[in-house]
Amino acid sequence: MRLQRQFTGQKITLDTSNLIASGGEGRIFPVVEDSSLVAKVYHKPTEEDADKLTVMYNNPPQTLTVMPGVTAIAWPVDLLCTPDNNRKIVGFLMPSVTRSLPIHTFYTPKTRRERKPLFNYLYLHRTARNLVASVTDLHASGYVIGDVNESNILVSDTALVTLVDTDSFQVRDRQTQLVYRCPVGKAEFTPPELQGQTFRDRDRTPEQDRFGIAVLIFQLLMEGTHPFSGVYQASGDPPAIEARIKAGHFVYGNSRVPYKPMPLAPSFEILHPKLQDLFLRCFQEGHTNPKVRPDARTWLLALIEAEENLVTCDKYSQHRYDRHLSSCPWCERTSKLGGRDPFPSREDVQQGLHLKPLKPKRKRRSPGRSLMPTPSPIQPPATVRQAVSAPASSYRPRQQTRSRGLSPQIQSLILNLMQGAIIGGIWGIACSSAIMAIVFGFFRGTGGILGGMFVGTIWGAFFGVSISMFLPPPRGLNRWKAFIVGSFCGAMIAAAISGILFGALTGEIVVGQTLLWGAFLGLIWGAIWSVFKPPLSLPTPGGVRGWVGALSGSVWGALLGSLTGAVLAMGAVLWGEWQLQMSLTLTLKLMSQMFLMATVAGGLGALGGILSGATFGSIGGVPPLPLSMKRVGAKGAIVGGIWGNFLGVIAGAVLGAISAALFPEVFSNTSGEALPLFLGAMVISAGVGGVWGTISGIVWGALGQL
């Protein structure tokens, strides 16, 4: 099956002969070109699916990976569309998750004993800890899982957790406030207030996720026991699990319920006291008041403390238990189960004895030659957020240490700033050099520069047409568009090169000053552009309001104010020249006057437009931004120009105000009074920033750098 990536345009092949999984919504296939990705293709794709996936793609949670190659949340990395001209969205790409199993494999004693026998109580604590760490990030980003269940959470040998089936999450579009609901759920993990409800008709809340997550934590630490399972003590047939949840019959709570704990279930007292309190808060107090259910962050802190309080049994190093207990509960449980050790020793696993029932009184075996091939040693449990010291014992899983340096988020921010500043600096030098070359070439008649631009135009047109032959629409341009774009790009590149060479050969000071100013402006622009991204969302009918509307209004106001002010100012200059000379001749002096007046008027109009747009936008008086899933080419240029103008105006006004305060002599031509000087600097700098941001945003947006 051949499909096309929506945002990169790359065509990919799905290995349909090697089906990974199939469900009610779609099927998952490997990607032939990239083994690190898999594709989910819907049986019946809808426009709502496409809109929801686009919102998810544009607003990922903060932490999707916990370390290189390890995915915490299998988030969409691109959308998949048909390769024809219709480009219908039919699915999405997500990271491939390997060497992981569903979480129930680890908390169910039978499957853990058969498949992961060395996964002890420390690993189960670490699994719960990594689970709530991912949920913390997810909730902080405004998402709700909705369908919490034991099949949508995968766990690795080192207790790393990956949340999958993310396209079923409840998603809220931050721009339009439209909610894409989670239409499914599993009764065992559904809170009482949702039991018997139609999920498609209900907005989910983080408090409802907290219930399902608490059930999973309980099962992890209580040998797969469900918190609402027990032996029914009343007459009649035992109620179903959903009826018990709805009634609030938490078997291990302080209230009287018609159940007793399951006979083979571990004692509730084996849990760390803080964990016991949190379960009571969630299942007992939270039955009628969901707000009191502990959030994921609270669980994370309690699980860290509980893990740190685990001690090792004196007899069996695989047995870990809380230090508040006077004896090892797992030794007692082994006897209760007829010799079946829930956490068998490495020697038992090597000899296959963990799969056979043992005598109640087993003797300690001395290490000897294995009767079975030695299994691969289990890796130490890894942590998502924070590493802790392992308890002292003969078996020491090596802990992953946490760097004392900057957090990954800060490191990523600094890296993006540096990368944006470097690229912006190069861009600034190229732009200033090209502008200088055009001025010298056309207004001073420098033949070398004009000749270079002519040759660049020819070569640009040639390359543009050549590329269009190998990259036709919809991924590329048609030949006429490619000819025009290639000619323009070739001329600008040649102008930039010619400007630098002209400056180097003539040694004029103004050339060096222009390049330095261009580098400075480009550096500032690149850094700002790398940090502040447009609020991407598909356009929807109607307007937006609130803070989202205020932001949209500010962006629209900056653009319309800049254009209106610049056009009126240039018109006024041309009208004045016509009144004086009764003719119009475009000289360098006249163009300089037009640019200066357009800059000042554009800056003034942009600042006024931002204030007006923010006011009208907050009450729903502006439309959403014309944003699109295709963020390259012409659509990318439109979005980039609009957003770049806004960023340029804001950044220019701020820099102008700072410059006026620190270096007032720079604006000495204005009035000597402090307030006019300050405002004049803001207006002029906002105008320059608006021009720079618009041009740069158009180019960068067309290249897909949104």
Q: What is the pLDDT of residue 630?
A: 46
Q: Is residue 69 predicted with pLDDT exceeding 80? A: no
Q: What is the pLDDT of residue 17?
A: 92
> How does residue 275 score in pLDDT terms, banded at 50, 70 and 90?
very high
Q: Encode 211-233: b = buried (16+ Cβ within 10 Å), e = exposed.
A: bbbbbbbbbbbbbbbbbbbbeee
Phi first, then psi, for residue 2 (nearest 5°) are -105, 125
Q: Is 147 a catalytic residue?
A: yes
Name the one residue in this structure whose structure tokens are 């610049």.
566
Rounded Cα gap, residues 110 and 566, in angstroms: 75
Rounded Cα gap, residues 308 and 310, in angstroms: 6
Q: Is residue 378 within 8 Å of 157, Cβ to Cβ?
A: yes
Q: How crowded is the C-beta side of 14, counted as CA atoms within 13 Å?
A: 22
Within 25-85, residue ranges assigned H as helices are 47-58
> How does residue 658 score in pLDDT terms, banded at 50, 70 and 90?
confident
Q: For the chain, what percent of residues have pLDDT higher than 70?
A: 78
Q: What is the pLDDT of residue 307?
A: 94
Name the one residue in this structure whose structure tokens are 């090892």.
328
Helix (H, G, I), strand (E, B) or coil at 273: helix
Q: Is residue 167 predicted with pLDDT exceeding 80? A: yes
Q: In whole angstroms, what separates CA 541 from the centre of its chain?
A: 26
Phi first, then psi, for residue 543 (nearest 5°) are -100, 175
pLDDT in tens, 401-428: 344 455 545 665 677 778 778 887 887 7
Rounded Cα gap, residues 506 and 268, in angstroms: 85
Please state which of the ranges 58-62, 126-130, 282-286, 662-666 shows the lowest mean pLDDT. Answer: 662-666
Q: Is residue 116 predicted with pLDDT exceeding 80? A: yes
pLDDT in tens, 590-614: 777 777 787 777 777 777 777 777 7
Phi first, then psi, for residue 162 (nearest 5°) are -125, 125
Q: What is the pLDDT of residue 376?
A: 44
Q: What is the pLDDT of residue 666?
A: 58
| Full set of structural domains in the chain with CATH | 1-98 (3.30.200.20), 100-364+374-402 (1.10.510.10), 408-531 (no CATH), 536-706 (no CATH)
pLDDT in tens, 448-480: 777 777 787 887 777 777 776 665 544 455 677
Q: How far apart are the first and last CA of the chain?
A: 30
Helix (H, G, I), strand (E, B) or coil at 345: coil
Q: Spot the catalytic one: 147, 165, 167, 322.
A: 147
Pairing mode of beta strands 11-13, 2-5 = antiparallel
**What angle, rounded to 10 degrees, do the helices at 509-531 and 674-702 form?**
70
Q: In whole angstroms, what separates CA 229 from the centre of its chain?
A: 38
The continuous run of DSSP H or E covering 71 comes out as strand 70-71
Q: What is the pLDDT of residue 154?
A: 96
Query: Which two structure tokens, joined as six digits, stand for 505?
Result: 């050969």
Q: Is residue 500 predicted with pLDDT exceeding 80? A: no
Q: Which one has a higher pLDDT value, 672 or 96?
A: 96
Q: Is residue 683 within 8 Å of 595, Cβ to Cβ?
A: no
Residues 331-351 have a mean pLDDT of 90
Rounded Cα gap, residues 670 and 659, in angstroms: 14
pTM surpassing 0.85? no
Q: Is residue 533 predicted with pLDDT exceeding 80? A: no
Phi first, then psi, for residue 23 (nearest 5°) are -140, -170
Q: Which of 73, 214, 244 lies closest to 148 in space, CA to CA?
A: 214
The continuous run of DSSP H or E covering 8 comes out as none
Q: What does 427-480 look like in DSSP terms, one character per residue?
A: HHHHHHHHHHHHHHHHHS--HHHHHHHHHHHHHHHHHHHHHHHHS-TTTS--HH
Name the one residue in this structure whose structure tokens are 């000071």.
509
Rounded Cα gap, residues 53 and 47, in angstroms: 10
Within 141-262, residue ranges assigned H as helices are 206-221, 241-247
Phi first, then psi, for residue 83 (nearest 5°) are -80, 5
Q: Kindly list the strands in the beta sheet with 37-42, ordered across the sheet, starting from the edge strand earlier in the chain.
A: 11-13, 2-5, 78-81, 89-95, 37-42, 26-30, 21-22
Task: Tell me what percent of the chain is helix, strand and coil, each rounded to the nearest 5.
Answer: 50, 10, 40
Q: Is residue 278 within 8 Å of 294, Cβ to Cβ?
A: yes
In this structure, the number of other CB atoms found within 10 A of the CB of residue 116 comes to 16
> How does residue 177 score in pLDDT terms, banded at 50, 70 and 90?
confident
Q: In whole angstroms, what separates CA 126 from the centre of its chain?
A: 24
Q: How crowded is the C-beta side of 213, counted as CA atoms within 13 Å?
A: 31
Rounded Cα gap, residues 542 and 182, in angstroms: 25
Q: Is residue 549 predicted with pLDDT exceeding 70? A: no
pLDDT in tens, 194-228: 999 999 889 999 999 999 999 999 999 999 999 99
Query: Which two structure tokens, joined as six digits, stand for 153?
Result: 């959470």
